[in-house]
Amino acid sequence: MKWIRKSFTDLTPNELYDILHLRSAVFVVEQNCVYQDMDYNDQQALHLMGFDDTGKLAAYTRLFPAGVTFEMASIGRVLTGPSARGTGAGKELMQVSIDAVEAVWGKGPIKIGAQQYLKKFYESFGFEQVSDIYLEDGIEHIKMVRK
């Protein structure tokens, strides 16, 4: 996997299209969840893109400094495309995301809003549940923090 991190203004039109296409394919179509993906936070995010050997976007996250989506740095819109699943790309994506947050904004707590069924996956990276289960767009979520 080739990892590229860019600010919103540095994304090419094709990269932005690929990001929005993959997010829509996974979060809207695959998860059958009608919601407003474009939330005006993209402009404040760093976009971490993972490209497979063919040059296709296969994994993605948004990274934020403290004060944008949470009171601390955060990682969001975590996804791997169908072609990357089962390859370890998700684990690599999370580790590269954590490393990127720490490289850009320093070591400190990182907060996520995680789909509840992925709790054990995020716990393997040191995240701990800090909220009750809540519904977001009809899907059970929990807030988690990595200290």
Looking at residue 77, its pLDDT comes to 97
Q: Where are the beta strands (DSSP E) in 55-126?
A: 57-64, 73-80, 110-115
| CATH number assigned to the domain comprising residue 119 | 3.40.630.30
Q: What is the pLDDT of residue 71?
A: 97
pTM listed for this prediction: 0.95
Which residue range is the domain that position 9 belongs to?
A: 2-146
Number of domains in the chain: 1
Q: Give residue 50's pLDDT.
A: 98
In which residue ranges of the chain is pLDDT below 50? none
Task: Note the pLDDT of residue 139.
Answer: 92
Strand ranges for the chain from DSSP E: 2-7, 46-51, 57-64, 73-80, 110-115, 127-129, 134-136, 139-146
